[in-house]
Amino acid sequence: MKIEEIPKWNRPRERAKRLGLSKLDDRELLAIIIGSGKQNKNALEIADDLLNSFHTLRNMVGMEAKTFEKFYGISEVKALTFAAIFEIQRRVLLEESSEGYQSAEKIFENYSKRIINLSSEDLFIIYYNRGGRFIKESIFRANLEANVTVSVNSIIRECISLNAKKIVMVHNHPSGNVTPSVGDVRSTEKFEAKLKEFGITVIDHIIVTEKAYYSLRKRESGPKIFL
C-alpha cells in the first residue's frame, strides 16, 4: 500500500500536525523520520520492519548507521539520520546536572541510559570544581589496568586545564556483571594515589550496567581504596 492510499487525516505527518508528536506511536514517529517509502513498501511498513527487529526504540539507541542501512527502504543518508537522532538521545540522557555531584545512585541513573547497547568497555571521567560543581566529562577506551599511566596523565592534564579538584570515575561492564575485577580495584588504587599527589580527589569509581551499579567507595569487603 502506498502512503497516498491511507486517508490523509490518518497519515503520520498529518496526525503529528493535528495532534502533536506526543500523541503518535513509535511506528508513526519512525515513519516520519523515514519519510518516503520504496516500491512495494511504504514508510509505515519500513517502520514495522525496524520494530520487528529491534522490538523497542530503546534497543535502537547506540546503533551505528550501517545497522540501519541493512533495512530495505533506508538509504545511507537516512541511516545516518537515525544514528544521529539516537546519539542525540543518548547525549541528552547523559547530561549531568549543573548542581554537581549528588550520589552514586544519580550517576547510575544517567549512565545506565548512556551505555545502552554499548559493546565496548569505556571509562568516563566526570570533572568537578572544588565546590563539587560539574565542569565536563571525558571518555577513554578502557582497559584500565593496561592504560593506567596514560589515562592518569591525561586526566591530570585535563584537571589542571579545567581547574578541577574532584573527579568521579565511571566505567561500564558490557557483560552485565557489576562485580569489580582485580584489575578494576588495582587501577582504582593507582588512580587515587597518583591524583592525590596533585590535590585531586577521586570521589568514587562506579561500575555500571544497564540494570545495576557498584560503588567502589561503598565496597564492604577487601582493603579500603578511598581513605
Each residue's pLDDT, cut to its tens digit, for the chain (227 residues) gives 566 667 777 788 888 898 898 888 999 999 998 888 787 888 899 999 999 998 888 788 878 898 898 999 898 999 999 989 888 877 776 554 445 677 888 888 888 877 877 777 888 899 998 888 888 888 887 655 554 445 788 899 999 999 999 999 998 898 889 998 888 888 888 889 999 999 999 999 999 998 899 999 887 665 566 55
Asked if residues 189 and 225 have their Cβ atoms less than 8 Å apart, the reply is: yes
pTM above 0.75, yes or no: no
In what helix (H) or strand (E) does residue 62 lie, and over which residues does it extend? Answer: none
Cell numbers placing 218: 561503598
The residues, any chain, with a CB within 8 Å of residue 176's CB and separated by 6 or more, are 209, 210, 211
